[in-house]
Copies of this chain bind each other. A is one copy, B any other.
């Protein structure tokens, strides 16, 4: 077979895997949004069978040999897109063939069952019911890590899946700096005694109106409802089957519309990344989102940089006033801006403001590190969680439901995912800095409700590039410098000094 013909064969195989991956996407979404409760067992078996098929396809010797032959041809035989697909296929083949099918299936089944156990344990406030799932996951994910990256320590291997090339060695100093600076910043804000008025964000917000508002703003951000959906789930997420079928979720509280709306905006940010992938290669690895940190940079870009900005609040105040009759009478855009940026230690990560949020992440990162290196035990987590919440944020969760059981991630064995949230926040800040340089009047445009230049800029600079660059190279290409946490710290200090009328060093 000629090289081009062999490459076409590879693309065909990769696209088949993408199609089957899309099927798995529907199964996941369905499980979290739609599935009847009594179907948990059958669903676990179905997803396990499908995971088995995907594993078979990914480990087929025919596939491995083809990838090996193409890779041996060298990069000069291919264009950048082709070579990226070959490299991605090679990495995946190496990753997949090192994991025995039995382990893959056990992980898939535990993931499916674990979700159901977690939902119930969270409802019952019983961490002990979830603990066996978590213990088994640590065992399985440690075994898994030894199979796939024998040279990395187990937690680094888990991180690598979400944040390729990033290790504890790189994260530790970033998080150490953040931890120190943010604990100090939070203390200064507390000591200031200042507190913007946020009373008007409490009230009676009918769910149907919240949903209507979410759809409106998501559409104005550029999300295509012909190629996506908005539904309800326990934990908001962005999933689906394909860039033409992107499904975001939120959850509603009748007394607080901000939480739900900003979840919609956050998940729309993820969704726009998916819908914005390079259109010619939608079912190929080259078009896939880069890392979880870059994915998160997109959701946080919209949530923090755009939707919590003064210009966004100025424009959308009138919309809020129109949707929620009378609720915002006499409120100014500046007051709304201050209110959506109130900094206050809180128990739930997804409700946290942008200053306290990284400390939620650092807590989880430290726990995951400890579970993998054996310095922490699963049974001790509720106590550890509560102690450190008190140490970092000055509040103590009254229940596991509001503490260690709050997040969905561990119920599917996703360790090493959490750091991406805060890496994403740093990326987002740095991207926004560059966007403002390139589009100097962008804040005026947002203040007039023109969000499409934001989407277009992200499409062009991030989404359409797929995996053609590493995350490290992408941030250099887009911003002219490597990932820089100090820019993020400076941004937070400047912003909150103004809101809280304090002086910061």
Whether the pair A224, B38 counts as a contact (CB closer than 8 A) is yes
**Interface positions of A from 21 to 69, Cβ below 8 Å from B:** 22-23, 26-27, 30, 34-39, 41-43, 45-50, 52-53
Q: Which residue of B lies closest to A22 (CB)?
A: B46
In the complex, whether A303 has a CB less than 8 A from a CB of chain B is: no
Whether the pair A245, B39 counts as a contact (CB closer than 8 A) is yes
Q: Which residue of B lies closest to A52 (CB)?
A: B16
State how many residues of chain A have any CB contact under 8 Å with chain B.
Answer: 39
Q: Count the copies.
A: 2
Within the complex, the shortest CB–CB distance from A428 to chain B, in Å, comes to 27
**Interface positions of A from 212 to 252, Cβ below 8 Å from B:** 224-229, 241-245
In the complex, whether A209 has a CB less than 8 A from a CB of chain B is: no
A295 to B50, CA, bound (A): 28
A34 to B45, CA, bound (A): 23
In the complex, whether A501 has a CB less than 8 A from a CB of chain B is: no
In the complex, whether A19 has a CB less than 8 A from a CB of chain B is: yes
Whether the pair A244, B30 counts as a contact (CB closer than 8 A) is no
Within the complex, the shortest CB–CB distance from A351 to chain B, in Å, comes to 29
Whether the pair A49, B224 counts as a contact (CB closer than 8 A) is no
A15 to B22, CA, bound (A): 22
Within the complex, the shortest CB–CB distance from A209 to chain B, in Å, comes to 17
In the complex, whether A20 has a CB less than 8 A from a CB of chain B is: yes
Contact of A27 among B26, B34, B37, B49 (CB under 8 A): B26
Task: A23-B23, A36-B228 are known; give 4 further A-B pairs, CB within 8 A.
Answer: A19-B45, A23-B46, A37-B226, A43-B241
Residues of chain A touching chain B, judged by Cβ–Cβ distance below 8 Å, are 15-16, 19-20, 22-23, 26-27, 30, 34-39, 41-43, 45-50, 52-53, 224-229, 241-245, 282-283
